[in-house]
Amino acid sequence: MSRVLSQVALLIMAAALIGLYKVGSLLSWNPIAIALQLIAVGLMGWARLTFKWRSFHASADPTAGGLVTTGPYRFIRHPIYAAACLFGWAGVVVHWSTLSVVLGAALIVGSLVRMLCEERLVMQKYPQYRDYATSTWRMIPYLF
């Protein structure tokens, strides 16, 4: 069930980002938005390099190779979802509208559902994940 739910959540995330782009609320010439989106791209790149290409699935599916706790994973458990949300919300904030906020909320909901699905499955495969989770934040250090 977690795998199917995670696929639905990924579709929601993708639809939210595509929707933000289609309505002109994703990209901006605002220097703060550009800086935040560059930080998001950097965080995502750092996370992918750290995690390598061993896992790139549409559904939550813990892979062999051990629990990754280095790179950005030292600080937050879900840097890729954090990066996607930061990228999307940088656009939402500078193109504030009811529709952009709804799409931004969908992005966050999709991310949260994926995180919870993945955490459940990773904990089953790697029991040490429970200890790791107590020493890191999900997405935003000192907040969440």
Residue 63: pLDDT over 90: no
Distance CA 52, CA 41 (A): 16
Tell me, what's the pLDDT at 70? 92
Nearest to 133 by CA among 81, 77, 52: 77
H helix count then E strand count, the chain:
5, 0
Residue 59: pLDDT over 80: no
What are the two backbone dihedrals, phi and then psi, of residue 59, each rounded to the nearest 5 degrees? -110, 155
Q: Which pTM was predicted? A: 0.91
Distance CA 77, CA 79 (A): 6
Question: What DSSP state is assigned to residue 18?
Answer: H
- State the CB neighbour count (10 A cutoff) for residue 41: 13
Tell me, what's the pLDDT at 144? 82
Tell me, what's the pLDDT at 58? 59
* Residue pLDDT, tens place only, 114-130: 999 989 988 888 889 99
Residue 142: pLDDT over 90: no
Contacts for 18 with CB less than 8 Å, ≥ 6 apart? none
Residue 3: pLDDT over 90: no
What mean pLDDT, rounded, does the chain reach?
91
For residue 46, count CB atoms less than 10 angstroms from its CB and return exposed for 0-12, middle for 13-18, buried for 19 or more: middle
Percent of the chain with pLDDT over 70: 92
Write out the two tokens for 88: 């999307």
Question: What DSSP state is assigned to residue 76?
Answer: B
* Residue pLDDT, tens place only, 64-106: 677 889 999 999 999 999 999 999 999 999 999 999 999 999 9
* Residue pLDDT, tens place only, 29-38: 999 999 999 9
In this prediction, residue 62 has a pLDDT band, given cuts at 50, 70 and 90, of: low
